[in-house]
Structure 1
Amino acid sequence: MFVTQKDADERRKAEGKKVAKRPVEIGQMTVTAQKQEENVQEVPMSITVFDSMDIEDKKIESIRDMADFVPNLMIYQHGMSGQNAPTMRGITARPESFRVSTGLYVDGVPILTGPGFVNEMLDIERIEVLRGPQGTIYGKGTETGAINIITKQPDNEFRGRVSAEGGKLLSAETGDKEKEEFSLNLSGPILKDKLFFGIAGKYYQRDGFIENTITGDTVDGREHWFGRAHLRWTPVDKLDISLIASRLEYDDDAPNFNMGENGAAMFGLPVPEDRKVTSDLEGKNKSSCDSQAMKIAYDISDSLTLTSVTANWEYDDNSLSDWDFSPATLSHGDKDSEYSKISQELRLNYSAERLKWLVGLYYDRDVFDIDYKIISDIPPMAGIHSRDIDGHTYAVFANLTYPLTKRLSLITGLRYEYEEQDFEDNISHLKADDSWNELSPKIALEYCFTPAIMTYVSASHGYRSGGFNWTATDPQYYSYDAEKLWSYEIGVKSAFLNNRLILNGSVYYTRLWPFLIHGCWANLLKLLYLA
């Protein structure tokens, strides 16, 4: 079936009228938050889930849009497209650290840096936002939670959608600006019951509306491309193989800055006008994100499944920005960096009526190549950084759900993770290396008063792994250790009126010790120990 946006909307209205005639049930959504299929109301943790209908109804087009509907979660853009910093339960990590406190996973591909912390919400099956430490199952970078995005699987049904939007942004100051957006997704069988395909793509363009008073041009235009291809093969009933590749490109004007009222007053300058900047630099912000993943799932029996997820992720960042708020060349930033991660996870899942367990192995390799120049006509202000960071992570983990009585179950898990990194300064030729290891346990009890009312209590450990400060000038601050936390949570999940009313709630207490603080630019991260 292939439909246009208009046809889809009309069909949806008709279906909505039919649905309105029968009782509406909610809360019967299956999630894979613990890397096994479970009803969301039976998982002992705080979870917010969006299915494809929720994503469409709420017009969720990015992870920042999604965050507006999730308690305890904020995601702010770090000045440029393609760079975001998630904050969950009040804890965050700046993108310059190449670490996150909340991990992002797209079809099993881990995205654990602020640069590249993005995903287009096109042809998405489900979004799961897990609040609280997820170190036992997901590992580093999930000290406060994880965001799990699952795209739609192609199958025997042909599905398609085309969407086009256009319009103008009205501005009396800089003139009307155009905006346009096109998207497409199509999926279906190549060979019935055996081979399936899926494609999705999007183009977005918006004119700028901030004027550079030096050149008279607008300086904040946006142009984005996105594409994804999915090939799924099921040669036998027990085997499911998926290959997924995607690319996201940003070709934007550079972010521009101006002084605020206090800054202008300090230097005796007039207050800057809104949406106007003065810069002698055209600037740019070009970046791209590539991802390839292969997932193989084999059902050994009705209860036992072996799963392998192999992934490659790369993010390139090329930007030129004016940081000095003036037409003079006092401080221009020129950045050309590359980040990449290759990961492999192998896990064995067992799932019976109430007894569930999984064991797994994990490996990844991170490579960060960072080149950054500060261009200035004043020699003391100029500088250059050219540094490489190469790291490896090894982990083994297990998780168990065990029924103690008819109504009481124990959930426990443990993960051991070892990480090592090599650091090299390409200017001074200084080299350094460091390593970290961490045990991440979790224990929880859940009690079902009725099939519709469950309460739980849990204690879990999370951490943000150690690393290197790529901007540090003092060797004593080159590396930093991991930030660690324990979180304790009590919650209840309940359904009433034949699943027409869902009432969930939780309270939590989190203790960080030690924790990372962001210092001045030269000494980016420091570890602070407090009782």
Structure 2
Amino acid sequence: MARAWLGGVVGAWVVTTGMAQAQDSERPALELDNIVVQSDKLEQTRDQLPASLSVIDARTLQSAPLDSLEQLVRRTPGFTFQPFGQSGTQLPVVRGLTSNATAFSNSLLMLVDGVPVLRGQGFDTDLVGVDQVEILRGPQSALYGRNAEAGVLSVSTRQPGAADYARLETGLASRNQQAYSADLSTALVEDTLYAGFAGQFTRQDGYLDDNFAGGTADDRERQSGRLSLHWTPDELTDATLRYSRMKYRDEASQWGSRTGPDRAVNSGLAGRNHSSGETWSLDVRRSLEGDLQLRSITARSVFDDRLRQDTDFQPLDLMHLARDYHFETLSQELRLSGSHEQSRWLLGLYADREDHDLGYEQKLPLGLSRTQTGLGGNTAAVFGQWLQPLSEAWSLTVGGRYENARAWIDPASTASQSDSWTHFTPKVALQYALTDDAHTYLSYTQGMRAGGFNAFASGAGNPAYDPEKVSSYEFGVKGLGADQRLRYSAALYRMQVRDMQVQQLIQQGLVYITNAASATSTGLDLDLEYLLDERWTLSAAVGLNRTRFERLREGANDYQGQRNPFAPDLTGHLGLRYDADAGWYAQGAVSAVGKVYLDAANTYRRPGYGLVDLSSGYRFGHYTVSTYVNNLLDQRYDAAGLLYGAVTVYSPPREVGVRLSFEL
């Protein structure tokens, strides 16, 4: 199925490119916007940035509809999430690189209005009031340091301004889903102070039968909100104070026994997930003499991961796990940018401090164990970037980051420990303009992911593990064609991963993270958007990746040549949209992900799958009524064998919904 799907996408790519070149010159003028992006910290148009980049705008988010990060990333090449089945915790997988939940760090950095999200716990944001999402693939540690070894996902929310704005939406869907959202803003003081609010409430019945208590075991409820105050006291100053909060009131995880009944549990211990998070941030921009720009982003983020989950799925409470984690991060970034003749430059300072309290409980037939640990650290870094034109066609980008990171652990039962690491992560990109609208580039970048301590391996003395390091070479071509109706990009890359952080079963009952592996990741990202005419739009994306261990031994087992867990060899998306003059639209999309293995031995797996999503809508005045079907064919793609073969993570079934929105 995956090969046939890929052949269809490549065929469509070739055919539509040929069609684009054959368009009649008398056709009405249509152009794709060359959007300005900021994920490289120096504002550039997306087609001039020498990197593999996907951009998703507010219109796409609202009309698809895209309600979650998992739905969003299906539209981009080389990006997926690990199957986890628990709200509030998502572990990204980009270009074959991923992380472990107990490492409390990610291979990809998420930014929400410039505020970093460093862990899988709390790696979530609602998409209400979001103006633009940028997904930058490949190591970005030269600008963003640790946890950006595979890329950056940058979310920008709508800034309240002088014009009043209101968008209200309500919806109903399968399994008694109710959804309500609002995005509002107004001026409090004319030309000076503006306020905005965006929020969402959703609840939905689960899809796992509870054979013990009746009903369903995995009902979901989520609440989120964001407040913004935007202050412009003069022409040179722009400051935004933001507060956001997200809360989950879920029942059990979307888990079941790998050998038990299908999509059903008999759990005598009711599961729950009462996680929550909040963030305060202050973003200040100041124009200085000449074209100098100063920007400061100060933030405090808190996330509480509170979960209890049965793991034997039987009436007697024989096995369960429970988490009570408190994560707190303070961060400060200060950067100065400007230009010199034709060059552009950026200098910055970054610092953060993390303080975490981790409480973990595990019940096994032999008894109950509890772990209480303090974990944290701090980071200090200086970074810079220089964009230098070499001629009319050639340009050079150089950058780097010098970073010192310290980690500490303070277990309740053993002695405290600390360690520190120093890194320099460079970036070099040479770019050539083939035409005014087409560019090719060659880049070399290094990335790293933070080291730390094994918080739950007290029996082994809570050993430390070192940072993971990546060296990446990338060659890309990108630009606009067919009278700017066709946007395309292709990036070929090879990454060498050293001191790879892997989770190993040292002995029965003792699992922890080590630097026991090295790997090579090679692949190709393809992205296309084409306006066939004034009504039809085609989009396509394909990610091919091959990540294999060069070295990994676990006891007597040698896993050389095996796949990195959770890393698919194929991701893809093909979408078609029709916009009618009468105010209605219809669109459909097919997305596909190749099979992934759930362990280093490549014993347990989730099969490859393809999903068909459809949506349509009609706009009349300020109102829009829309319908959608997600997973039209009710495709199953359960991950059977998580936790060393004990658990199946069930995939969501087909969902049908209708929504009504009002926009002023």
Partner residue, 2:407: 421
Q: How far apart are the structure 1 equivalents of 2:405 and 2:419?
A: 9
Partner residue, 1:473: 458
Deviation sequence 1:231-279 (CA, Å, 0-9, x none): 000000110000011000000002264333xx4xxxxxxxx43332111
Contact kept in structure 2, 1:155 and 1:188, CA below 8 Å:
yes
SS in 2 for 1:137: helix
Contact kept in structure 1, 2:378 and 2:406, CA below 8 Å:
yes
Q: How far apart are the structure 1 equivalents of 2:419 and 2:348?
A: 25
Q: How far apart are the structure 2 equivalents of 1:157 and 1:351?
A: 32
Which of the residues 370, 392, 399 maps onto 2:378? Answer: 392
Partner residue, 2:278: 290
Deviation sequence 1:176-215 (CA, Å, 0-9, x none): x411000011012112211111101110011233222222
- 1:116-127 aligned within 5 A: 116-127=122-133
State which drifts further: 115-124 or 316-325: 316-325
Letter in 2 for 1:133: P
Partner residue, 2:178: 180
SS in 2 for 1:344: strand
Partner residue, 2:576: none
Residue 308 (1) aligns with residue 293 (2): no
Partner residue, 2:330: 342
Deviation sequence 1:405-453 (CA, Å, 0-9, x none): 2221110001011111121111x14211111111100011011122111
Partner residue, 1:255: 253
- 1:349-498 aligned within 5 A: 349-351=337-339, 354-376=342-364, 378=365, 380-426=366-412, 428-475=413-460, 478-498=463-483
Partner residue, 1:214: 212
SS in 2 for 1:66: helix
Deviation sequence 1:331-351 (CA, Å, 0-9, x none): 121211111111000000114
Partner residue, 1:42: 48
SS in 2 for 1:143: coil
Q: List runs of 5+ in structure 1 lacking aligned partners.
A: 1-20, 170-176, 264-271
Letter in 2 for 1:65: Q
Partner residue, 2:134: 128
Indicate how the Cα distance of structure 1 residues 151 and 276 shifts in structure 2: closer, same or farther if over 3 A, else same: same
Contact kept in structure 2, 1:361 and 1:397, CA below 8 Å:
yes
Q: How far apart are the structure 1 equivalents of 2:460 and 2:33?
A: 53
Q: How far apart are the structure 2 equivalents of 1:475 and 1:76?
A: 27
Letter in 1 for 2:67: E
SS in 2 for 1:96: helix
Letter in 2 for 1:97: A
Contact kept in structure 1, 2:268 and 2:313, CA below 8 Å:
no
SS in 1 for 2:318: coil
- 1:212-251 aligned within 5 A: 212-251=210-249
Pairwise CA distance, 1:529: 5.3
Contact kept in structure 2, 1:159 and 1:188, CA below 8 Å:
yes
Q: How far apart are the structure 2 equivalents of 1:473 and 1:95?
A: 17
Q: How far apart are the structure 1 equivalents of 2:316 and 2:272?
A: 18
Which of the residues 91, 101, 104 maps onto 2:110? Answer: 104
Pairwise CA distance, 1:354: 4.0
Contact kept in structure 1, 2:502 and 2:517, CA below 8 Å:
no
Indicate how the Cα distance of structure 1 residues 527 and 73 shifts in structure 2: closer, same or farther if over 3 A, else same: same
Q: How far apart are the structure 2 equivalents of 1:452 and 1:37?
A: 18
Pairwise CA distance, 1:355: 1.3
Which of the residues 77, 89, 92 maps onto 1:86? Answer: 92
Contact kept in structure 2, 1:474 and 1:523, CA below 8 Å:
no
Pairwise CA distance, 1:75: 1.8
Partner residue, 2:619: none
Residue 525 (1) aligns with residue 510 (2): no
Letter in 2 for 1:362: Y
- 1:9-20 aligned within 5 A: none
Q: How far apart are the structure 1 equivalents of 2:129 and 2:172?
A: 21
Residue 161 (1) aligns with residue 153 (2): no
Q: How far apart are the structure 2 equivalents of 1:209 and 1:110?
A: 33
Which of the residues 177, 187, 190 maps onto 2:188? Answer: 190
Q: How far apart are the structure 1 equivalents of 2:182 and 2:517?
A: 51
Partner residue, 1:18: none
Pairwise CA distance, 1:218: 2.1
Which of the residues 500, 509, 512 maps onto 1:515? Answer: 500
Indicate how the Cα distance of structure 1 residues 63 and 301 shifts in structure 2: closer, same or farther if over 3 A, else same: farther
Deviation sequence 1:13-65 (CA, Å, 0-9, x none): xxxxxxxx953211410000211211111110000011111222332212111
Higher relative contact order (CA 8 A, sep 6+): 2
Letter in 2 for 1:522: L
Q: How far apart are the structure 2 equivalents of 1:473 and 1:243?
A: 42
TM-score normalised according to structure 2 size: 0.72
SS in 1 for 2:511: coil
Q: How far apart are the structure 1 equivalents of 2:469 and 2:84?
A: 24
Contact kept in structure 2, 1:256 and 1:321, CA below 8 Å:
no
Contact kept in structure 2, 1:256 and 1:322, CA below 8 Å:
no
Q: How far apart are the structure 2 equivalents of 1:222 and 1:191?
A: 40
Pairwise CA distance, 1:523: 3.2
Q: How far apart are the structure 1 equivalents of 2:187 and 2:69?
A: 30
Pairwise CA distance, 1:522: 2.8
Indicate how the Cα distance of structure 1 residues 273 and 100 shifts in structure 2: closer, same or farther if over 3 A, else same: same
Q: How far apart are the structure 1 equivalents of 2:36 and 2:339?
A: 14
Indicate how the Cα distance of structure 1 residues 485 and 273 shifts in structure 2: closer, same or farther if over 3 A, else same: same
Contact kept in structure 1, 2:414 and 2:458, CA below 8 Å:
no
SS in 1 for 2:241: strand
Q: How far apart are the structure 1 equivalents of 2:31 and 2:105?
A: 40
- Residue identity over aligned pairs, in percent, reads 32
Q: How far apart are the structure 1 equivalents of 2:340 and 2:29?
A: 31
SS in 2 for 1:65: helix
Q: How far apart are the structure 2 equivalents of 1:437 and 1:114?
A: 24
Q: How far apart are the structure 2 equivalents of 1:273 and 1:414?
A: 53
Contact kept in structure 2, 1:78 and 1:95, CA below 8 Å:
no
SS in 2 for 1:350: strand
Letter in 1 for 2:176: E
Contact kept in structure 2, 1:469 and 1:523, CA below 8 Å:
no
Letter in 2 for 1:244: R
Q: How far apart are the structure 2 equivalents of 1:209 and 1:131?
A: 34
SS in 2 for 1:329: coil
Letter in 1 for 2:166: G
State which drifts further: 344-353 or 187-196: 344-353
